[in-house]
């Protein structure tokens, strides 16, 4: 018998509503990890406290700042918000406090929702225009707080970067949060930053008390537009704001009569026992709340994929059919045609010379071989093709969908064009139909979107978003396309992202089982909004073993491992041990092979087949649902690194051990987590780098799991199972 209690599954779910003194209304929401007290003041609501059960309270001194004015007929009108108890609702794990403004007539709903018995609580603010005319409003944050802090108490801040183009040398930041700390982390679908600027983050942050309980809270944003999280520590206060990025400003957004502004959904949760414990709750919550049930129902998710990009743009019918045969032989689940199959950018029809019989026959051949069929499409990008059905940037009917007038000499790149503004209803409608056509006509099981999906600012004054500031805008060329930076950039992204979500929500409804790969020039769109509209992420655009492990190490702090795709590309492997190291560096989450498998030696071929079989029989179930522990520092390619999966229900796990180039350290000990000290565990070294042996949990968690590997750039998989008493 095992007595481990499963974190997060036993939580009670209830709320209470009471009319307190001074006419104030308060409510409480609770999951097994997070208790929130909420209060409706006469003119603003307040999150009064966050409690992690059994731990000191986080008390919030600030009421929510509600927008102080609106623009009506080009005039700024101050708003006076008044609590409307009759319209407010509580029940079923939901609290919605309503505030009204009489003139102009607006209704603001401040809502919190429990989505699972465990994990964080979701929050959103909505503002509805009840006037008969158009108004403009400034930025309403999703959440702002001012925690009261014990000046003596050390705090730590943890945040992770997106893998973007290439993971940086740091990636996972764990920094002391001392007096004077001022930090802002931003996220958009554009990872490109100048070297001196901080990298984009996955829009999430964790703050913990540095004591034995390692308790704290985390917050995340379920939106892919331009967002930010900021933290400022004073002597006895920790202020923060979470929501759309106000910079560059001033932000304003239009509301037509009856229209509703929705602040990006955010979630706020508490935890104890450090960042991995928080991650083990959050990953499970993301799967249950944001994940697609249809996708998770498939026991073969995450899939093993063979992708054509190993040969670049040269893919054709002959190559594709050969790859399908080899994929089936290797035991792969899906064949994925990457860029190169189409006539040209914006002209998403099979290239007549490369695919003379079209794409559906390729899909059908994959299906005949027992494989799913996936396709890369840059579906928001326009080019210059004049073929029927193509999105031609110079076509007078669509010219206004581009974010600015393109100069006469503009040309798309081979697989990159000009992003259209999806926030424009006509552009959205075209994209919806085009995605529908592609999925249906080409018999797709998976659609990968790439390129920049969300417009980077927009110069147009006749789109639903705010107009740019004519005195403060910058138009420039980057990655073969024209970009606009101005005060309206955040509003442009707000509209475009919502259109993207609508398109994919409808596709999911109409095509249950269809998978979406979220790729945006690599890992630039890794956030919780795309997690709720796509099925898995390309986590970085650099595919060597170290980059794959670094991106996985960072991203797996917050997202389910099954959603994290690593592309494994050709890499120098003089020894078969190096080859296995290369494969396994992409086998901790979703594995996509992206190299010409026909060029492999028979030994490498046989090795891959064996590893894929192991992935499907043993590793996949850990990747889908087991707890994950970062049992080493972040990979640096020199030292050892590793990841531990531990399945609490089955009392089984696996450690992925990687040795870097170090010659100084031929053995390494990983201090494991999640085990029980008194239980004995059987260790099986898959490559037989050591004989199987039985040890106590105490030894594995203190002295550690010792692994010896004679070669640099090699690996081992150590399977662990509890031995019954």
Nearer to Zn ion, 162 or 456 (CB): 456
* Residue 633 · residue 639 · CB < 8 Å: yes
Q: Name the token pair of 220.
A: 């995340």
Q: Shortest approach of Zn ion to residue 250 CB, angstroms?
A: 18
CA distances from 53 to 11, 57, 382 (A): 11, 9, 53
Which residues from 682-721 bind Zn ion, rule CB under 5 A? none
Nearer to Zn ion, 111 or 421 (CB): 421
Number of residues in contact with Zn ion under rule CB under 5 A: 4
Which H helix or E strand runs over 89?
strand 89-91
List the one residue out of 413, 297, 327, 204 whose CA is nearest residue 608: 327
Nearer to Zn ion, 449 or 463 (CB): 463
Q: Is 704 helix (H, G, I), strand (E, B) or coil?
A: coil
Nearer to Zn ion, 458 or 526 (CB): 458
Looking at 460, 549, 580, 630, which residue binds Zn ion (CB under 5 A)?
460
Q: Shortest approach of Zn ion to residue 380 CB, angstroms?
A: 12
Nearer to Zn ion, 463 or 508 (CB): 463
Q: Name the token pair of 601.
A: 């030696």
Nearer to Zn ion, 318 or 462 (CB): 462
Q: Is 525 helix (H, G, I), strand (E, B) or coil?
A: coil
Site string for Zn ion, 374-413 (x = CB under 5 A): ----------------------------------------
Looking at 287, 463, 524, 584, which residue binds Zn ion (CB under 5 A)?
463
Q: Shortest approach of Zn ion to residue 10 CB, angstroms?
A: 49
Q: Shortest approach of Zn ion to residue 432 CB, angstroms?
A: 17
Region of 175-183, 462-470, 516-524, 527-535 interacting with Zn ion (CB under 5 A):
462-470
Site string for Zn ion, 581-610 (x = CB under 5 A): ------------------------------
Nearer to Zn ion, 254 or 463 (CB): 463
CA distances from 708 to 199, 618, 665, 673, 693 (A): 36, 22, 9, 20, 14
Region of 180-188, 368-376, 452-460, 535-543 interacting with Zn ion (CB under 5 A):
452-460
Q: Tell me the chain's radius of gyration from C-alpha atoms.
A: 26
Which residues from 35-54 bind Zn ion, rule CB under 5 A? none
Region of 429-437, 461-469, 470-478, 642-650 interacting with Zn ion (CB under 5 A):
461-469
Q: Shortest approach of Zn ion to residue 490 CB, angstroms?
A: 13
Q: Shortest approach of Zn ion to residue 478 CB, angstroms?
A: 17
Cβ count near 369 (within 10 Å): 17
Q: Shortest approach of Zn ion to residue 309 CB, angstroms?
A: 31
Looking at 323, 330, 458, 563, which residue binds Zn ion (CB under 5 A)?
458
* Residue 163 · residue 554 · CB < 8 Å: yes
Q: What is the DSSP string of 207-257?
A: EEE-STT--EEEEEE---SSEEEEEEE-SSEEEEEEEE---SS---EEE-T
Nearer to Zn ion, 421 or 434 (CB): 421
Nearer to Zn ion, 147 or 500 (CB): 500
Q: Shortest approach of Zn ion to residue 460 CB, angstroms?
A: 4
CA distances from 59 to 50, 73, 149, 349, 403 (A): 7, 41, 8, 58, 45
Asked if 228 is part of the footprint of Zn ion (rule: CB under 5 A), the reply reads no
Which residues from 410-429 bind Zn ion, rule CB under 5 A? 421
**In the complex, residue closest to Zn ion by CB:** 458
Nearer to Zn ion, 494 or 615 (CB): 494
Q: Shortest approach of Zn ion to residue 189 CB, angstroms?
A: 15
Nearer to Zn ion, 463 or 524 (CB): 463
CA distances from 200 to 117, 248, 476 (A): 31, 16, 20
List the one residue out of 425, 452, 493 whose CA is nearest residue 186: 493
CA distances from 272 to 217, 284, 565 (A): 9, 16, 29
Nearer to Zn ion, 266 or 431 (CB): 431
CA distances from 244 to 122, 382, 491, 581, 711 (A): 16, 27, 9, 41, 48
Q: Name the token pair of 203.
A: 């829009």
List the one residue out of 345, 344, 343, 405 whose CA is nearest residue 380: 345
Nearer to Zn ion, 264 or 457 (CB): 457
Site string for Zn ion, 116-155 (x = CB under 5 A): ----------------------------------------
In the 3-class helix/strand/coil scheme, how is 428-491 assigned residue by residue? Answer: HHHHHHHHHHHHHHCCCCEEEECCCCCCCCCCCCCCCCCCCCCCCCEEEEECCEEEEECCCHHH
List the one residue out of 251, 211, 683 whose CA is nearest residue 495: 251
Q: Shortest approach of Zn ion to residue 404 CB, angstroms?
A: 9
Nearer to Zn ion, 404 or 714 (CB): 404
Q: Shortest approach of Zn ion to residue 533 CB, angstroms?
A: 21
Region of 137-145, 453-461, 555-563, 633-641 interacting with Zn ion (CB under 5 A):
453-461
Q: Shortest approach of Zn ion to residue 119 CB, angstroms?
A: 36
List the one residue out of 450, 449, 472, 470 whose CA is nearest residue 460: 470
Distance, C-alpha 486 to centroid of its chain: 26
Region of 124-132, 312-320, 455-463, 535-543 interacting with Zn ion (CB under 5 A):
455-463
Q: Shortest approach of Zn ion to residue 224 CB, angstroms?
A: 17
Q: Shortest approach of Zn ion to residue 422 CB, angstroms?
A: 9
* Residue 79 · residue 68 · CB < 8 Å: yes
Residues making contact with Zn ion (CB under 5 A): 421, 458, 460, 463
């Amino acid at each position: 018998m095992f007595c481990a209690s499963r974190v997060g599954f036993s939580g009670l779910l209830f709320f209470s509503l009471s009319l307190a003194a001074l006419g104030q209304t308060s409510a409480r929401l609770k999951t097994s990890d997070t208790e929130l007290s909420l209060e409706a003041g006469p003119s603003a609501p307040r999150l009064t406290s966050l409690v992690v059960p059994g731990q000191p309270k986080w008390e919030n001194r600030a009421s929510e700042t509600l927008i102080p004015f609106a623009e009506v007929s080009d005039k700024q009108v101050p708003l006076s918000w008044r609590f409307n108890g009759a319209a407010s609702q509580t029940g079923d794990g939901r609290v919605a406090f309503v505030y009204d403004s009489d003139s102009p007539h607006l209704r603001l709903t401040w809502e919190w929702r429990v989505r699972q018995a465990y994990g964080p609580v979701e929050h959103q603010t909505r503002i509805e225009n009840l006037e008969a005319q158009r108004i403009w409003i400034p930025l309403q944050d999703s959440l702002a707080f001012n925690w009261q802090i014990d000046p003596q108490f050390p705090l730590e801040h943890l945040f992770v970067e997106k893998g973007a183009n290439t993971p940086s040398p740091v990636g996972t930041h764990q920094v002391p949060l001392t007096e004077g700390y001022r930090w802002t982390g931003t996220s958009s679908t554009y990872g490109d930053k100048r070297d001196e600027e901080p990298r984009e983050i996955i829009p999430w942050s964790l703050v913990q008390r540095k004591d034995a309980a390692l308790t704290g809270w985390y917050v995340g944003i379920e939106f892919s537009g331009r967002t930010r999280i900021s933290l400022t520590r004073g002597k006895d206060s920790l202020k923060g704001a979470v929501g759309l990025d106000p910079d560059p400003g001033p932000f304003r957004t239009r509301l037509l009569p009856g229209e509703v502004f929705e602040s990006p959904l955010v979630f706020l949760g508490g935890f104890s026992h450090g960042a991995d414990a928080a991650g083990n709750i959050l990953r499970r919550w993301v799967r249950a709340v944001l994940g697609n049930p249809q996708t998770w129902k498939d026991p073969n998710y995450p899939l093993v994929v063979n992708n054509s990009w190993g040969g670049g743009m040269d893919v054709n019918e002959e190559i594709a059919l050969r790859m399908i045969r080899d994929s089936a032989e290797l035991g792969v689940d899906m064949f994925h045609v990457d860029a190169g199959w189409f006539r040209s950018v914006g002209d998403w029809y099979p290239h007549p010379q490369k695919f003379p019989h079209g794409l559906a026959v390729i899909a059908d051949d994959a299906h005949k071989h027992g494989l799913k069929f996936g396709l890369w499409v840059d579906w928001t990008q326009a080019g210059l093709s004049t073929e029927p059905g193509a999105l031609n940037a110079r076509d007078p009917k669509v010219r206004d969908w581009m974010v600015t007038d393109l100069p006469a000499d503009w040309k798309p790149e081979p697989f990159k064009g000009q992003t259209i503004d999806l926030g424009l209803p006509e552009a959205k409608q075209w994209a919806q139909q085009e995605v529908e056509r592609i999925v249906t006509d080409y018999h797709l099981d998976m659609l990968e979107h790439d390129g920049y999906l969300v417009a980077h600012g927009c110069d147009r004054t006749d789109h639903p978003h705010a107009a740019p500031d004519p005195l403060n805008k910058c138009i420039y060329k980057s990655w073969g396309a024209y970009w606009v930076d101005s005060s309206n950039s955040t509003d442009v992204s707000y509209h475009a992202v919502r259109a993207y979500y609508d398109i994919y929500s409808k596709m999911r409804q109409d095509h249950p089982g269809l998978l979406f790969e979220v790729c945006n020039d690599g890992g630039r769109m890794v956030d919780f909004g795309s997690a709720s509209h796509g099925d898995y992420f390309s986590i970085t655009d650099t595919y060597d073993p170290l980059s794959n492990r670094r991106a996985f190490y960072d991203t797996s702090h917050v997202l389910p491992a099954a959603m994290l795709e690593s592309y494994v590309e050709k890499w120098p492997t003089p020894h078969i041990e190096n080859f296995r190291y290369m494969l396994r560096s992409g086998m901790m989450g979703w594995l996509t092979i992206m190299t010409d498998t026909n060029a492999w030696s028979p030994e490498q071929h046989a090795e891959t087949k064996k590893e894929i079989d192991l992935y499907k029989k043993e590793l996949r179930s850990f990747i889908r649902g087991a707890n994950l522990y970062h049992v080493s520092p972040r990979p640096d390619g020199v030292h050892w690194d590793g990841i531990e999966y531990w399945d609490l229900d089955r009392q089984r796990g696996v450690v992925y051990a990687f040795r870097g180039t170090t010659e100084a350290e031929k053995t390494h000990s990983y201090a494991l987590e999640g085990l029980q000290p008194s239980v004995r565990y059987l260790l099986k070294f898959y490559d037989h780098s050591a004989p199987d042996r039985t040890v106590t949990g105490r030894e594995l968690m203190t002295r550690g799991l010792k692994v010896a590997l004679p070669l640099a750039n090699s690996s081992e998989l150590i399977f662990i199972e509890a031995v019954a008493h």
